[in-house]
Amino acid sequence: MEIPAIVGAGLVVIGAGIGIGRIGGSAMEAIARQPEATGKIQTAMLIAAALIEGIGFAALFAVN
């Protein structure tokens, strides 16, 4: 493995963590504003977080 690949994978993982954190925070704000839409908000949040996490895993596996 080369150093630039490792640094790039690390940046992708950090970006994925930040993205998932922002999704969670925004979902909590949305639920606080519209509690009746909790189910729809949680579903959308989980799908988006799973897609972002998949990209993070793909970046890790691409380095190996």
Note whether residue 6 is domain-resident: no
Specify the CATH number for the domain of residue 43: 1.20.20.10
Count up the domains in the chain and report the number: 1
What tens digit of pLDDT does each residue of 41-52 get?
999 999 999 999
Note whether residue 57 is domain-resident: yes
Note whether residue 49 is domain-resident: yes
Question: Which carries the bigger pLDDT value, residue 10 or residue 64?
Answer: 10
Alpha-helix residue ranges (DSSP H) falling in the chain = 3-33, 38-63
The per-residue pLDDT for 35 is: 97
Note whether residue 1 is domain-resident: no
Instruction: Indicate if the pLDDT at residue 64 is higher than 90.
Output: no
> Any residues with CB less than 8 A from the CB of 5 and at least 6 apart, and which?
62, 63
Note whether residue 51 is domain-resident: yes
Tell me which residue range forms the domain holding 55.
12-63
pTM of the shown model = 0.83
CA 24 to centroid of chain Cα atoms = 9
Average pLDDT of every residue of the chain: 92
Q: Mean pLDDT over residues 3-17, rounded?
A: 89
Note whether residue 20 is domain-resident: yes
Q: Mean pLDDT over residues 15-21, rounded?
A: 94
Angle between helices 3-33 and 38-63 (to 10 degrees): 180
